[in-house]
Amino acid sequence: MKKSLMLLALSAAFIFGCKKDDDNTNDGGTNNTKAALIKTWQSQSVVAYDVNSVIKQLPIYARGGSANLYDFGSFSVTFKSDGTFQRNDLDGANTTGTWALASDNKTITMTSTSGAVLKYSAESVTDKTATFKYILNVKNPTGIDAQIIDKAKSLGSPVQDGAYLNLVVTPK
Average pLDDT over residues 44-71: 85
User: What percent of the chain is predicted at pLDDT more than 90?
Assistant: 50
The Cα 38–Cα 35 span in angstroms is 5
Nearest to 40 by CA among 72, 4, 86: 86
Q: pTM of the full predicted structure?
A: 0.76
**DSSP structure class, residue 113:** T
pLDDT score for 145: 84
Please write the tens of the pLDDT for every residue from 137-154: 889 888 778 888 888 888
Domain spans of the chain?
2-171
pLDDT band, residue 6 (cuts 50/70/90): very low
CB contact at 8 A, 15 and 45: yes
Q: Please compute Rg for the chain using Cα positions.
A: 16
- pLDDT tens per residue across span 73-110: 999 999 999 999 999 988 888 999 999 999 999 999 99
> Pairing state of beta strands 130-135 and 117-125?
antiparallel
Q: What is the pLDDT of residue 67?
A: 87
- Topology of the domain comprising 2-171: Lipocalin (2.40.128)
* Residue 43, amino acid: S
Band (170; pLDDT cuts 50, 70, 90): very high
